[in-house]
Chain A
Amino acid sequence: MKNKQGPNSTGHLITALQADVRYDGRTKNQFRDIQIEYGVSNTADGSAKITCGNTEIICAASLSVGSPFPDRPDEGALMVSAELLPIAHNDIESGPPGIDAIEISRVIDRGIRESGAIDVKKLCISEGEKVWIISVDVVPINHDGNIIDIGAIGALAAIKDAVFPGLTEENTADYKNKSKNKIEMKHTPIPVTVCRIGDELFVDPTKVEENNIEARITIAVLENGKICSLQKGGDEGFSTEQLAQAFDLAVKTSQELQQHLL
């Protein structure tokens, strides 16, 4: 619920942001501390639990053998799906994925896909018949804002952790005998969502801040500072100067975050 006055409102957040002391004591361009725990699931081929402040997300990458898309017979596939469950926050209701969950999975998917981080040609087993399909599940178990950025880092960690299952003679996956091959990652595209309330730009919003943002832009940046995907959200827009500032901030923050995935 967005309100202009009253406690936890846009007005009061702007005063805090202008003084550069956010509700949890951070400055505007400071990310919360990130911890990544690998291999949290026995059944998934790769998994990671990522904690950033009070936000906790479990990500799992599963590998399966399937048929390729008809127009891309020699390419494997990547699918990212995010789910917002009521366990994560009071405001979330159960039911089919809502607009937020769809956006989160689309943005994370786009960041990984468009960066070319995964060479999909290498996922081909036999052309036109069998390819590896990577499906990544992003499940927040505690929602305190910024699911897109943290979920994307978690998704990358889960893919990094994944080990290919073995292959049987009929080219089906053999989950009992795992191979030692890992998914080769050429890039680490880390998205950073820059949010705007009033004239203040900041990164890594908490839930309270997220409820009050006027505009946000998610910028996925590679390790070399190149931008590979964008997504704009929120009810309002950015001015040209604000956009330039947002890009600088995102590139800088993203490069600081790279250390978590080394």
Chain B
Amino acid sequence: MSELLIQEREIVVPGQILAKGMEYLPSHGTYRKDEQIIASRVGVAIIDGKVIRSIPLAGKYLPKRNDIIIGKVIDILSMGWRVEFNSPYSGLIPIKDGTFEFIPRGADLSRYFDIGDYFVGRITNVSGQNLVDVSVKGQGLYKLRDGRTIKVNTNKVPRIIGKKGSMVSMIKRATGCKITVGQNGLVWLLGEPAMEFIAVQAIRKIEEESHIPGLTDRVKEFLEEKTGQPIPEHHSQNDDDEEEQPEGEQ
């Protein structure tokens, strides 16, 4: 006989027993031990029929295939570049996924990516041992040349992007900054220094207030107040590719 010990949308902590019995199934953020379902991360529990998962509230970024990330080169190896991306695991860009250019045998790899360079990349594979492969070859993937990066809470990234990129494109239109949000919680910005700061403040506001309803309106009000002008309507500039449709909305 199975028994559920939590309620929908309850905040759970690691080690907490969520359900007893074999009728329930573990998913993201939960695991089975003997006949119990136990939480492995701090999060909000979601009961989806028989499946129990938790949407994390805190924690580092865990790499997932096809995520668009912002990373930094930390080492040059014989087979490519070692990169870090705000995660417990480092990744590798194999030489073939580094650039469209032809790289001759024995070439100086720092000509393409040097230590300390930032890039927008895609995670191509995550192995069972958490070996991460990253590619910088493809549409919307490139080396970053200017601007600044800020770190945000990985679990708030979907809220910063908004539905179909609505939130980030609003910030872009209001401030005129170029913004790329990586799924790994790194955000890249480039614009007028004063506008960049407003964009950073807006992102921090989203991070802090994402759980309170009416977020979009408040961010809109904030941006209009700070920039001193209404947010212009959609125009094509900068509203390109990089907003990924997030999954697991809160």
Given A12-B146, A23-B148; A6-B117 close (CB under 8 Å): yes
User: When the two chains form their complex, are residues A23 and B197 in contact, meaning their CB atoms are under 8 A apart?
Assistant: yes
Please measure, in the bound complex, the distance between the C-alpha atom of A200 and the C-alpha atom of B189, giving whole angstroms.
22
Smallest CB gap from B146: residue in A: A12
- The answer on a CB contact under 8 Å between B147 and A7 is yes
User: Does A262 sit at the interface, judged by CB under 8 A?
Assistant: no
With a CB–CB cut-off of 8 A, which chain A residues contact B200? 23
CB <8 Å contact, A16 and B193:
yes
B144 at the A/B interface (Cβ < 8 Å)? yes
Are A7 and B188 in contact (CB-based, < 8 A)?
yes
B196 CB within 8 Å of chain A: yes
The proximity string for B residues 110-145 relative to A, scoring 1 for CB distances below 8 Å and 0 otherwise, is: 000011111000000000000000000000000011
Tell whether, in the assembled complex, residue A7 and residue B144 are in contact, meaning their CB atoms are under 8 Å apart.
Answer: yes
* Interchain CB contact under 8 A, A7 and B149: yes
Which A residues touch B117, using CB under 8 A? 3, 6
Residues of B within 8 A of A1 (CB): 115-116
Query: Binding site of B, secondary structure by majority: helix, strand, loop or mixed?
Result: mixed
Within 8 A of B (CB), among A9-25: 9, 11-12, 15-16, 19, 21, 23-25
Residues in B whose Cβ lies below 8 Å from that of A94: none
| B197 A6 Cβ-Cβ under 8 A | no
Contact A19-B194, Cβ < 8 Å, known A7-B147, A7-B148, A8-B149: yes
Total count of chain B residues near the partner, CB < 8 A = 20
A82 to B66, CA, bound (A): 45
Q: Is B35 an interface residue (CB 8 A)?
A: no
Does B48 reach chain A (CB closer than 8 Å)?
Answer: no
On chain B, the residues within 8 Å of A208 by CB distance are: 148
Among B117, B144, B145, B148: residue with most chain A CB under 10 A: B148
Partner of A16, one of B116, B188, B196, B201: B196
Quote the shortest CB–CB distance from A91 to chain B (angstroms).
12
Shortest CB-to-CB span from A20 to chain B, Å, is: 8
Q: Say yes or no: A6 contacts B193, CB within 8 Å.
A: no
A41 to B190, CA, bound (A): 44
Verify B197–A8 contact, CB threshold 8 A.
no
Say whether, besides A19-B194, A21-B194, A7 and B201 are in contact (CB < 8 Å): no
Contact A21 B147 (CB under 8 A): no
Say whether A5 faces chain B, with CB atoms less than 8 Å apart.
yes
Interface string of B95-118 (1 = CB under 8 A from A): 000000000000000000011111
B147's partner among A3, A12, A19, A24 (CB-CB below 8 A) is A12
Determine the chain A residues whose CB is within 8 A of the CB of B192 once the complex forms: 19
B188 / chain A contacts, CB cutoff of 8 Å: 7
Which A residues lie within 8 Å of B148 (CB)?
A: 7-8, 12, 16, 23, 208
B194 to chain A: closest residue by CB: A21
Residues of A within 8 A of B194 (CB): 19, 21
**Known: A15-B193, A19-B192. Contact between A6 and B116, CB under 8 A?**
yes
> Smallest CB-CB separation from A17: which chain B residue?
B193
Bound-state CA distance A21–B118 (Å) is 23
Contact status A25-B115, CB under 8 Å: no
In the complex the two chains form, what is the Cα distance from A9 to B147 in whole Å? 8
Bound-state CA distance A3–B145 (Å) is: 11
Question: What chain B residues lie within 8 Å of A24 (beta carbons)?
Answer: 197
User: Who on chain A is nearest to B117 by CB?
Assistant: A6
Taking CB as reference atom, which chain B residue is nearest A8? B148
Instruction: Decide if A25 touches B201 in the complex (CB within 8 Å).
Output: yes
B197 partner, pick from A5, A9, A25, beta carbons under 8 A: A25
| Smallest beta-carbon distance B190→chain A, Å | 8
**Alpha-carbon gap, A16 to B196, bound state (A):** 9
Q: Which residues of A contact B190 (CB under 8 A)?
A: 12
**If A3-B116, A7-B118 touch, does A21 touch B145 (CB 8 Å cutoff)?**
no
Chain B residues with Cβ below 8 Å from A3 are 114, 116-117
B116 touches A19 (CB 8 A): no
User: Which residues in A have some Cβ–Cβ distance to B below 8 Å?
Assistant: 1, 3, 5-9, 11-12, 15-16, 19, 21, 23-25, 208
Please provide the 6 A-B residue pairs with the shortest distance between their CB atoms, ordered closest to farther: A19-B193, A21-B193, A16-B193, A1-B116, A3-B116, A7-B118
